[in-house]
Every structure is written in C-alpha cells, then in structure tokens.
Amino acid sequence: MVISHLTADLAPGQVNAGVAAYSTWVPAGVTARSHTQVSALFGALPLVPPGVVPVTEWRPPIAGHSRQPADIYAGLARTPGARM
C-alpha cells in the first residue's frame, strides 16, 4: 500500500494558501494532513523504512537527482498476505 499525500507541515503559508485557492474551485476541496495524520491513514499496516517522509526522501537519492523541497509525504506499508 503506497500513499502520497499533501502536507502543510513544511510550508504552511504556501500550502494553506493553495488549499484555500483550490477549495474555491472544488466543493470537496483538498485536505493537507500532518505527519501524524498521514501516518494514521496506514492504520496498523507495517510501514517499510524510512516510514512516512517527504516524498523526495523516500529511499536514498538516485544518482543525478538531488533532494528538493516537497510538500508531499510518502509512505509504503505491507498488506496482510503480501508476497515479497
């Protein structure tokens, strides 16, 4: 189970402004969630290291790709019965 999710943790001003702008267009809106909230989406599923982190920090950087700021958390968890 792989989840990536918008967060305002790292740039609250910019992201919350974006959330507000988006929500003026779309009734359902968009919800930025905190690290704790995104982690909670996985429930009891066991997270694979490094856990829920900014998407650019999920797994070591690929050669030639430098880390950049990201307002998206990403995490991966195994599901029951998952094949390796």
Partner 1 sequence: MGGVDHHRLAASDAGVDPHVGDRGAGCAEEDQVSTAWLVPECTPGRADVPLPDSTVPIPASTVHGSPGHITAARTYRRSMTAGMIAVAVAPAVTPPPPSSAATPAPATTTTISVTQPAAVLLLAVLHFIPGTDDPAGIVAALASVLGRAASW
Binding site for partner 1 (CB under 8 A): 1-6, 11, 14-15, 17-18, 21-22, 24-26, 28-33, 40-43, 45, 55-56, 58-59, 62, 65, 68-72, 77, 79-84
Smallest distance from the beta carbon of 80 to partner 1, in angstroms? 4
> Are the C-beta atoms of residues 70 and 14 closer than 8 Å to each other?
no
Smallest distance from the beta carbon of 24 to partner 1, in angstroms? 8
> Are the C-beta atoms of residues 74 and 56 closer than 8 Å to each other?
no
